[in-house]
Chain A
Amino acid sequence: MRQFTLGVAEIATSGGQIYVRCGGGLEVTAAPGQFYLARADIATQPFLRVPLYLFHTQSGGPEFFVDPAHPYAALEPGDTLDLVGPCGRGFSLPPRAAHLLLVAHTLERLYALAHLALERHFAVTLLLPPDAPLPSLPLDVEIQRGALTADLAAWADLIAADVPDPLTLAQQARLLRLSPPPGFVQAVITPIMPCGVGACQACWVEIGHHRKRACVEGPVFHL
């Protein structure tokens, strides 16, 4: 965990999604699902730091992937980002898994996982709501629309979710899949996280009968 600054080198747009490419010089790493708490040197921004999810680190510098609605989607080259992190726990790909099902309304927090899974030769399917815009993804990713089905649940070795109601999705998955493997449903749950280090006690999420701090025990939870 450290605090450091990066300069924004380029803002690239592809398929309606935005990549914030930063200058090199510092080693920036994070597991998919882990985040950095960021603050830019711009006049208008949220009071608290905002989570940024590392897409990957190119030779030129780290690259963050943000949705168009993200407060830092309008950054410009030359702006500076002050980052704290990496924070929290990310996704874990089980060693013998081969089929990854992404269930998402937005890909901001799952994009790095999709690419890591493809690098490891997973078959990756993205399940989107019927009206969600089509994201820009590698051709290897199969895209389906609609609700989780028994066929999909049976096909998947791991469901990685970023949906408004992950607990309901996990319940559906358990109903549709007999004897699911450990860690079958992993969901990213990110309430407002003021500190990112577990100090402020303000990001509790309720998982079953347990309450956990999203910034240190999440934001990826096994459901």
Chain B
Amino acid sequence: MIELAPHHKRGLSLANPVMNASGLLGFADEYRGLIDFSRLGAFVTNALTARPRTPAHPPNAIPLPNGVLIHTGLPNPGVRAAIRQYDREWQRLGPPVIVHLAATTPEDVRRSVEPLDLAEGVSGVELGLRDDVSVEETEHVIRAALGGPPVIVRLPLLRAAELCEAAARAGADALTVGAPMRTSPPIPLREAPLWGSIANGNGEGESQDEDGKQKWKGRFYGPEVFPMALEAVRAVVGAMQASPLPIIGAGGIFSEENARAILSAGAAAVQVDAAVWVDPAFLSRVAEAMATL
């Protein structure tokens, strides 16, 4: 068993080090019939917020030859509605369910954690920090999340080493390293590849600032993220030697070798992201392979 919250009164034990990253598999069992959830160490939900959120205006996905940019606006029904809608499914799903909370404000995080603490199907909370979060804000939102289920803090990939000690100081039980970086497409939206029936570009002028720079930004998913993720895990493991926390490595894992390398670098568990969209069976396969480690 892998313990992700050894100092929390409830703990968060996983039977397998492999789980999905937030935003990949939906809120509950959208992938039923395609993924064997019983093989996973944990199931991580799409992002929830204290209040309901509507999706960002299209386009929400820009395909690139080596990956995809995703910008959804984190649409969700809000924490309380999500609990009403999904808690029974979470209890039936099999592996521990970790609810991903977007770390908006300390007040909203506090309001979100209270009902999650009472939800029977929730075993942990993953707090997703904004890419531009300050050290001070990091500590505030994490402290606001304490007192309920174990708290995993997902750090921005490129700032993981900078923020990890603040997260530990504030009381995080574990760290996810990290959230994919947000970036603009290297080409104008209207020239992005298209394999559908409608254009990728939306309203006039929507995709560019007045100075012609792209303002549409999305999180980049693809195998090229992996070297950065591996380096970030190593950096965080190195920075946390004095007071180590369990680390979940994430970003660009597209092979069993990738997952092994992240675990060998010192991570306790791994999150698989866009490889699931490319091959849903990959998640069960890599979980089976990592179970024998």
Q: Taking beta carbons and an 8 Å cutoff, which residues of A are in contact with B?
A: 1-3, 39, 46-51, 70-71, 82, 84, 106, 109, 162-164, 166, 188-195, 197-206, 211, 219
Contacts and interface: CB of A to CB of B under 8 A. Distances in A.
B2 interface: no
Nearest to B194: A192
B68 A71 contact: no
Contact of B198 (A49, A50, A189, A198): A189
B23 to A, nearest CB: 7
Given A193-B196, A202-B70, 14 more contacts: A3-B280, A46-B65, A46-B193, A47-B64, A48-B68, A48-B278, A191-B59, A192-B194, A194-B68, A194-B277, A195-B26, A197-B26, A199-B26, A200-B23
A164 B197 contact: yes
Contact of A201 (B34, B63, B72, B280): B72
Given A47-B67, A200-B70, A202-B70, A109 B197 contact: yes
Contact of B60 (A109, A164, A201): A201
B135 interface: no
Contact of A192 (B23, B195, B222, B281): B195
Contacts of A211: 54-55
A191 B46 contact: no
Given A201-B72, A204-B58, A206-B58, A191 B65 contact: no
B55 A204 contact: yes
A106 to B, nearest CB: 8
Contact of B63 (A48, A166, A197): A48
Closest 3 CB pairs of A and B: A199-B26, A190-B196, A199-B30
Contact of A48 (B32, B33, B75, B277): B277
Given A46-B63, A47-B67, A202-B60, A191 B198 contact: yes
B64 A188 contact: no
Interface in B192-214: 193-200
B57 interface: yes
B222 A197 contact: no
Given A195-B277, A201-B23, A206-B58, A50 B195 contact: yes
Interface in B10-38: 23-26, 30-34
Contacts of B281: 3
Given A47-B65, A47-B66, A192-B61, A199 B46 contact: yes
A198 B30 contact: yes
A48 B75 CA distance: 22
B102 interface: no
A201 B240 CA distance: 35
Contacts of A164: 197-199
Contacts of B24: 195, 199-200
A107 to B, nearest CB: 12
B279 interface: yes
A192 B72 CA distance: 13
B177 interface: no
The winner among A166, A199, A205 for most chain B CB atoms within 10 A is: A199
A201 B64 contact: no
B157 interface: no
B154 to A, nearest CB: 17
Nearest to A216: B30
Nearest to B223: A47
A39 to B, nearest CB: 7
A109 B198 CA distance: 13
The winner among A1, A70, A194, A202 for most chain B CB atoms within 10 A is: A202
Contacts of B60: 191, 201-204
Contacts of A189: 196-198
B230 interface: no
25 contacts: A2-B34, A3-B34, A3-B281, A46-B65, A46-B193, A47-B63, A47-B65, A48-B68, A48-B278, A49-B278, A164-B198, A189-B196, A191-B59, A191-B198, A192-B194, A194-B68, A194-B277, A195-B30, A197-B26, A199-B31, A199-B46, A200-B24, A201-B75, A204-B60, A206-B58
B62 interface: yes
Nearest to B193: A46
A189 B65 CA distance: 23
B175 interface: no
Contacts of B72: 200-202, 204
A164 B190 CA distance: 13
B274 interface: yes
A190 B196 CA distance: 5
Interface in B154-209: 193-200
Contacts of B30: 195, 197-199
